[in-house]
């Protein structure tokens, strides 16, 4: 599964180099939030365990992750950023300057680990003519390992 996602991502972003780690920083905004009542679904899933069901419908606070990605240094050509993930074509597109912080809401960490929501993100820096210049890759693996450009940054 992970290999197919990585191969698919490689096809889309094959020639785009990774942004050097000293040109950006990723800060975790880790909070505990309760699921909104409308997201608690009463549908019965025959393939889930009792523990998975209880976690899905629980109203107790759960770990919720937002990443704040600060662009420390940009080339003169890098003027826009496009954010994509493994579930949707484009999450966001905006202008970017040195010092800009881009909030990236990952959501409940259990959902990302269980593959219920997106778990693989790409921030692609673009030229004024929308040529892809560099990228930042963020991945949350099934065991909770958090990777930025392939470098382990922690575990949830």
Least-confidence region, from 1-10, 36-45, 132-141: 1-10
pLDDT at 42: 64
Consecutive H or E run containing 57? helix 50-57
Lowest-pLDDT range, 35-39, 74-78, 81-85? 35-39
Q: Number of C-alpha atoms within 13 angstroms, CB side, residue 144?
A: 8
Neighbours of 28 (CB within 10 A): 14
Q: What is the pLDDT of residue 13?
A: 44
Q: Is 9 helix (H, G, I), strand (E, B) or coil?
A: helix
Residue 11 has pLDDT above 90, yes or no: no
**pLDDT tens digit string along 121-136?**
999 999 999 999 999 9
Prediction pTM value: 0.78
Q: When comparing pLDDT for 24 and 7, which is higher?
A: 24
pLDDT above 70 covers what percent of the chain? 83
């Amino acid at each position: 599964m992970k290999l197919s996602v990585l191969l698919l991502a490689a096809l889309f972003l094959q020639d785009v180099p990774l942004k050097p780690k000293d040109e950006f920083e990723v800060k975790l905004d880790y909070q505990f939030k309760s699921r909104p009542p409308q997201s608690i679904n009463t549908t019965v899933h025959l393939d889930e365990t009792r523990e998975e069901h209880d976690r899905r419908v629980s109203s107790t606070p759960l770990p919720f992750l937002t990443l704040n990605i600060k662009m420390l240094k940009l080339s003169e050509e890098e003027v826009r950023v496009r954010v994509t993930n493994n579930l949707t074509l484009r999450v966001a597109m905006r202008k970017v300057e040195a010092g800009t912080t881009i909030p990236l809401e990952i959501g409940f960490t259990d959902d990302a680990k269980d593959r219920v929501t997106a778990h693989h993100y790409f921030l692609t820096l673009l030229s004024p003519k929308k040529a892809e210049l560099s990228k930042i890759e963020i991945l949350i693996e099934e065991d909770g390992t958090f990777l930025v450009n392939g470098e382990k940054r922690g575990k949830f």
